[in-house]
A and B are shown apart, each in its own frame.
Chain A
Amino acid sequence: MNMVVCVKRVPDTSESEVHIDASGKDIDKSRLSFGINECDNYAVEEAIQIKERLEGNVTVISLGGKDSDEVIRMALAKGGDDAIRLEDDAFAGGDALAVAKALAGAVKGLEYDIVFTGALTDDDGYAAVPVALAELLGVPHATYVKKVEILEPGKKAKVGRELEGGLMEFLEIDMPCVLGIQTGINEPRYASFKGIKQAAKKEIAVKSAADLGLDAADIGEAGSWAVLEQFTPPVVGEMAEILEGEPDETAAKLAGILKEKGLV
């Protein structure tokens, strides 16, 4: 089984204050720490587990600058075999479709049975890349995948999709395919020291848009259908109703509102 995993380096905003930068189109990332997108971490683990069970090859791909080498190498340290990093000024400012075009350009040149991505990213959260990537590659896809069972290696898999309320939807999918992996599908491992040593020596192939045969007018901001205009902080207070009075009064008012809205 030949597998490809797409990973993204994202800022960790869980425990930091987030400020919009001067451009109004991005956040100030200067004091943030970065790491692999959470879903992608599970996607890497899933690919490596399948490789360990059925043998094969795992290629790690990331779109980003040299900083992204860190998340690529960590995936290699855990058991990835090869790596490609897509770097070109022409990729800048792209939406989910443009990102998918770049990834598709890289994946097309590879033999693959499954392309894994995260179901969505922690930063932009479009959850559209796996779908767009599958369309561009002309292969089937499944998103929010929380279970993968290989029925026939290279041919057919059974996947479970996580729906609302913990409901699972199972479907059979032909390979090659694209699977958008949800967190919790497995337990991501820690890289061993030995794995890290090997990964530090591996070569990461850096490819430009031209290397992938992509037209600069069709990628990045130029090739996007959606263009980011502005970030705004959430407006405080507008939607909030402040209940006043003694605790038993406010509790009664709150209970009334919840009942009225059918929430209890």
Chain B
Amino acid sequence: MRLLYELDDEKKLFRKTVRDFSEQEIRPQVEHLWETGEFPYDIVRKMGELGILGIPFPEEYGGAGGDYLAYAIAVEELARVDGSCAITVEAHISLGTSPFYYYGSEEQKREWLVPLAQGRILGSFGLTEPEAGSDAGNTQTRAELAGGEWVINGTKCFITNPGTEMSGVVTLTVVTDTRPDGKKEISNIYVPKGTPGYNIAPKYKKMGWHASDTRELSFDDCRVPESNLIGKRGEGFKQFLDCLDGGRIAIAALAVGTAQGAFEESLGYARERKQFGRPIAAFQAIQFKLADMATEIEIARDVTYKAAAMRDAGVPHTKEAAMAKLFASEMCMRATTQAVQVHGGYGFMDEYAVSRFFRDAKILEIGEGTSEVQRMVIARELGLR
């Protein structure tokens, strides 16, 4: 009998490969990465060789020729071991590389998509600004055409992947004009790293994801050719909304993996830790926590895979992507909170993995659209305005 759905052989093999890779190549380094915040170049380069940095892009453009579901599975498996590695891949694919794939010209694809998908360089996307977080329409960064060049001025914050030795390019949302209706005309323009006037600040110190590269970027009369416009002028808003639909699915997968990692730590600990002469796993109070965690993780995984499969099928999935991101990230916060609780005082100690999972979880309710924004998106999809 056929199951309602089941991962095919390709997905199962790929999951196994990423899991083995995460266990053997990443896990031994997790504590070091957390403590030092060093960017994991060796891990990221190896992921590039395996095709992980270009999973959902066609082979003709240097990608692995996989789909979004395979990509979600990879992010989930990476996050199960280390959130920093997972977000590095997620931001590179969903945000840094996707604009070139979906909207780039053939020439831009050849020049940028190929090395990005091959994992030879890392990509970034600059949307958020000090005054434009959830209110992305309030973008202040401007680009003005002068003598066949865009002259860019402004500041972007909380940008992932721009400052590593592997970083190659950032795509920015910029205001290029005022529309007839008085609103800002927002376009996407890419800026190669090393362009004069493109300044990269030192790494932020963060609550979690210590080893991922997150920085503030500023542009000071930064000039790039007119041809660095991605897609059409004024399409920037539409482009990044679509990229974010995909990104939200991947963040949901990241939340599922983070929760799964915390759950497995808790299950193992509960079996070993003895109190009142018995493993704490023998107490219903702990069993119910673990049962709730396992249940919620399963639900979040299902809704995430469903949204990914819808994206792969090319059907509208804005609502499902937002639902997956909202539920999975909030589930992850609950699950990692309970994971610390199962560990008691030890869970508060740095050397216990659950303390890292707990701190990595919070950003998932914020990045690529806060929970509040997800609820707005879902409400709008329900026809509420």
Residues of A at under 8 Å CB distance from B?
A: 35, 69-70, 73-74, 77, 190-194, 196-197, 199-200
Residues of A near B17 (CB, < 8 A) are 74, 77, 190-191, 193, 196
Residues of B near A190 (CB, < 8 A) are 17, 20-21, 50
Residues of B near A191 (CB, < 8 A) are 13, 17, 50
B9 contacts A200, CB within 8 Å? Answer: yes
Residues of A near B49 (CB, < 8 A) are 192
* Interface core residue of A35, A73, A190, A200 (most chain B CB under 10 Å): A190
Residues of B near A73 (CB, < 8 A) are 9, 13
Question: Is B361's CB within 8 Å of the partner chain A?
Answer: no
Bound Cα distance from A120 to B8, whole angstroms = 31
Residues of A near B206 (CB, < 8 A) are none
A197 contacts B50, CB within 8 Å? Answer: no
- Nearest CB of A to B2, in Å: 15
Which chain B residues (75-122) contact chain A, with CB distance < 8 Å? none
B20 contacts A194, CB within 8 Å? Answer: no
| A70-B16, A74-B13 known; A193 vs B8 contact (CB < 8 Å) | no
Question: Is B249's CB within 8 Å of the partner chain A?
Answer: no
Question: Is B235's CB within 8 Å of the partner chain A?
Answer: no
Bound Cα distance from A197 to B8, whole angstroms = 11
Q: List 14 A-B contacts (CB under 8 A).
A: A70-B16, A74-B13, A74-B16, A77-B13, A192-B50, A193-B51, A193-B52, A194-B51, A194-B59, A194-B65, A197-B10, A200-B8, A200-B9, A200-B10
- Fill in one digit per residue for B49-62: 1 if any A CB lies within 8 Å of its CB, else 0: 11110010001000
Question: Is B69's CB within 8 Å of the partner chain A?
Answer: no
Closest B-chain residue to A36, C-beta based?
A: B16
Bound Cα distance from A199 to B9, whole angstroms = 9
Residues of B near A69 (CB, < 8 A) are 9
State the main secondary structure of chain A at its contact with B: helix
| A74-B16, A190-B17, A190-B21 known; A197 vs B66 contact (CB < 8 Å) | yes
Residues of B near A196 (CB, < 8 A) are 10, 13-14, 17
Question: Is B64's CB within 8 Å of the partner chain A?
Answer: yes
Bound Cα distance from A73 to B14, whole angstroms = 11
Residues of B near A77 (CB, < 8 A) are 13, 17
| A70-B16, A74-B16 known; A194 vs B64 contact (CB < 8 Å) | yes
Question: Is B70's CB within 8 Å of the partner chain A?
Answer: yes
Residues of B near A199 (CB, < 8 A) are 13
Bound Cα distance from A96 to B65, whole angstroms = 42
State the main secondary structure of chain B at its contact with A: helix
Interface residues on chain B, size class: 20 to 34
Residues of A near B13 (CB, < 8 A) are 70, 73-74, 77, 191, 196, 199-200
Residues of A near B50 (CB, < 8 A) are 190-193
Question: Is B12's CB within 8 Å of the partner chain A?
Answer: yes
- Nearest CB of B to A107, in Å: 25
Bound Cα distance from A46 to B59, whole angstroms = 28
Residues of B near A192 (CB, < 8 A) are 49-51, 64
Bound Cα distance from A200 to B65, whole angstroms = 13
A193 contacts B14, CB within 8 Å? Answer: yes
- Nearest CB of B to A192, in Å: 5
- Nearest CB of B to A162, in Å: 22
- Nearest CB of A to B20, in Å: 6
* Interface core residue of A35, A69, A192, A199 (most chain B CB under 10 Å): A192
Residues of B near A194 (CB, < 8 A) are 51, 59, 64-65
- Nearest CB of A to B229, in Å: 31
Bound Cα distance from A77 to B16, whole angstroms = 12
Q: Of A35, A70, A74, A193, which is within 8 A of B64 by CB?
A: A193
Closest A-chain residue to B18, C-beta based?
A: A190
- Fill in one digit per residue for B134-156: 1 if any A CB lies within 8 Å of its CB, else 0: 00000000000000000000000
- Nearest CB of B to A19, in Å: 14
Bound Cα distance from A199 to B12, whole angstroms = 12
Bound Cα distance from A197 to B66, whole angstroms = 8
B66 contacts A70, CB within 8 Å? Answer: no
Bound Cα distance from A197 to B49, whole angstroms = 15
Residues of B near A200 (CB, < 8 A) are 8-10, 13
Which chain B residues (1-46) contact chain A, with CB distance < 8 Å? 8-10, 12-14, 16-17, 20-21
A197 contacts B9, CB within 8 Å? Answer: no
Residues of B near A35 (CB, < 8 A) are 16
- Nearest CB of A to B9, in Å: 5
- Nearest CB of A to B43, in Å: 12
* Interface core residue of A190, A193, A200 (most chain B CB under 10 Å): A193
* Interface core residue of B13, B16, B64 (most chain A CB under 10 Å): B13
Residues of B near A74 (CB, < 8 A) are 13, 16-17
Residues of A near B51 (CB, < 8 A) are 192-194
| A69-B9, A200-B9 known; A193 vs B20 contact (CB < 8 Å) | no
Bound Cα distance from A104 to B259, whole angstroms = 47
* Interface core residue of B8, B10, B55, B64 (most chain A CB under 10 Å): B10
Closest B-chain residue to A202, C-beta based?
A: B9
Closest A-chain residue to B16, C-beta based?
A: A74
Bound Cα distance from A191 to B20, whole angstroms = 10
Residues of A near B16 (CB, < 8 A) are 35, 70, 74
Residues of A near B52 (CB, < 8 A) are 193
